[in-house]
Amino acid sequence: MIKWFKINNIALVASAELELGEGLTLLTGETGAGKSILVDALGLLLGDRGSPELIRSGQEHAVVEGLLEARSAAALLESHGLPVEGDEIVIRRELNASGKGKATVNGALVPLGVLRDLGNRLVTIHGQHEPQGLLDADTHLGLLDRHAGLESQEVGSLFQRLRTLDGELESLRKDRRDWERRREMLEFQATEIEQAALQPDEEETLRSEKRVQANAGRLAALAAEAYGLLYEDEGAALGRLAQVYKRVDELAAIDGRFGEHAAGRSGVLAPIEDLSYFLRDYREGLQVTPGRLDEIESRLALIERLKKKYGATLEEVVAFGARSRAELGPAGSADEREKALLAERATVAQRYFAKASELSRKRRAAAKDLQKRVEAELAQLAMERTRFRVQFEPDLPPTDATDTSSWGAHGIEAAEFLISPNPGEDLRPLARIASGGEMSRILLALNAASGLEAEDKTLVFDEVDAGIGGRVAEVVGRKLRTIAERHQVLCVTHLPQIASLAQAHLAVSKRVEKNRTVAEVRALDEDAHVEEVARMLGGETITETARRHAREMVRQGLRA
């Protein structure tokens, strides 16, 4: 509820400060006195777009402030990350002549969207100002549920689980697609390395063989020449060494000091003999295989390519291939997970459809009851031939769970309120009703027929009395009093029958001060309340008869 409301420099209002209580507060005043200014200012407080034209002439800025109280305040504020101060919400809105402005909630700067969200949840303005909730067809299903006392929380939870399962399945399938692409890559990498059949020392061996194949002619010539010098040629080294040791033997036989050298003969000649035999065999065995050099070059190129792709050494390449093969692993786990998710989704979808179908049947029965109640209320409000319907989409509830196009968090249908105020006119959405007075009475009937609004919400009715009078006006007033038992109600009225029922009465008047028109708002005590009702009954000149009539109306109102 709105506990306190202050206006500075809005249109004709230089300054006004109002304290509002529970129940029904009536706002009255002569035509043009500025009653609509208060409603406009309240709209600004709740997030309506502002304009520099609203600022009082000669002023640079305007301010609207309000103190609201609601049991849901903490949750609302926390949802926007705003400071929480118990059940109270302090809103301040500033407009500047430059076109800029700012808004704060409990001292924190906020965008208009936050104000609108808070306003939609805490206050509803009906009448020539756009209703902030009931004109939105998206709210009608929830309002019907509230009227019927139906709960869609379980259906919502099941639907959310369906969405979660769908998300997991999509993620799994996406992961699988990604994995298949990676699997193909891993398979290619592992196979490429395995088919290469790399050996640990292969690269060095191949490079050595490459050198031999490339220099086979020179190697044969060098080996033959060395062999000849050691063994085969005239004056070869081995033959001359044999002669040398023959002389050493003779020396040793005469002088024992040569004995040691004579004994070392085999140690000198044997390695040279071995070398000569190796040179002979090497020369004879040295062959150039046609095409072998090309094979070596190709193999080395393959090794180099694999090293560039998979590692700096052959050991690293082989290890990379082993890791790729190990990562491929079995694919059964993903298939099993998908089967489990699909099975759970089928079960949840079955439960959702059963619960949503049951909810749908109850809704359609409740819609018929609401239609009758609203039409009965409208008949009492001088709209006897008005037709009211709750239209469902789809028109008939689905009969099986195969068509999921209408499934949602609130069930298997949407609902919209349709109205036809005059005979012969088609039923139309509430938002297409042109008359502000008709709109106010329609919404008044909706609220009277069923508690469509949250209990701690403030309801503002503007032009609710347009085009009515007499007995109907009294009925409207009593409807407002009934609604005010559940809500704080603020109503702008021109009719004494309604004003007499006020539990609190605010009067708007204007005067000229220093050649400027000024509107002011004052709270009326009991006597002033009677006087204002008398003015509304008798016009500018208030007679004693009007006063007596007014007192009687107020007394009747107190007993309402």
Output the pLDDT for position 164.
Answer: 92
Domain closes at, from 328, 362, 394 = 328
Output the pLDDT for position 555.
Answer: 87
Question: Where is 13: in which H helix or E strand?
Answer: strand 13-19
Domain holding 208, by residue range, is 197-328
Average of per-residue pLDDT across 255-264: 86
Nearest to 119 by CA among 541, 480, 458, 526: 458
The confidence band for 434, taking pLDDT boundaries of 50, 70 and 90, is low
Average of per-residue pLDDT across 259-267: 86
pLDDT > 70? residue 452? no
202 lies in a domain?
Answer: yes
35 and 143 in a common domain: no
265 lies in a domain?
Answer: yes
The confidence band for 138, taking pLDDT boundaries of 50, 70 and 90, is confident
Q: What CATH number has the domain bearing residue 42?
A: 3.40.50.300
Output the pLDDT for position 264.
Answer: 85
Output the pLDDT for position 95.
Answer: 92
93 and 59 in a common domain: yes
C-alpha to C-alpha distances, 142 to 329, 392, 393, nearest whole angstrom? 52, 13, 14
359 and 308 in a common domain: no
515 lies in a domain?
Answer: yes
184 lies in a domain?
Answer: no
Output the pLDDT for position 326.
Answer: 85
Residue with more model confidence, 498 or 328: 498
8 Å CB contact between 38 and 508: yes
The residues, ordered by sequence, that sit 6+ positions from 63 with a Cβ below 8 Å of its Cβ are 6, 7, 8, 9, 92, 93, 94, 95
- The tokens for 368 are 């018929």
Query: Is the preceding peptide bond at 394 cis, omega within 30 degrees of 0?
Result: yes
Amino acid found at 168: E
336 lies in a domain?
Answer: no
pLDDT > 90? residue 71? no
485 and 461 in a common domain: yes
Nearest to 89 by CA among 100, 101, 102, 103: 103
20 and 58 in a common domain: yes
29 and 120 in a common domain: yes
191 lies in a domain?
Answer: no
Q: Which of 44-58, 70-84, 467-481 has the lowest mean pLDDT?
A: 467-481
Output the pLDDT for position 357.
Answer: 93
299 lies in a domain?
Answer: yes
338 lies in a domain?
Answer: no
The confidence band for 332, taking pLDDT boundaries of 50, 70 and 90, is low
217 and 250 in a common domain: yes
Average of per-residue pLDDT across 102-124: 89
Backbone angles phi, psi at 229, to 5 degrees: -65, -35
113 and 67 in a common domain: yes
236 and 166 in a common domain: no
148 and 130 in a common domain: no
pLDDT > 70? residue 410? yes
Average of per-residue pLDDT across 340-363: 93
Average of per-residue pLDDT across 107-112: 91
pLDDT in tens, 301-315: 999 999 999 988 999
Q: Across all residues in the chain, what is the average pLDDT?
A: 86
Average of per-residue pLDDT across 492-510: 89
Domain count, the chain: 3
pLDDT in tens, 152-188: 889 999 999 999 999 989 988 888 887 778 888 988 9
388 and 495 in a common domain: no
117 and 141 in a common domain: no
Measure the CA angle with vertex 38, ends 32 and 42; round to 5°: 150
pLDDT > 50? residue 129? no
- Owner of token pair 């640990």: 200
d(CA 430, CA 130): 11
Nearest to 77 by CA among 23, 115, 134: 115
d(CA 533, CA 539): 10
d(CA 424, CA 281): 122
- The tokens for 358 are 């049951």
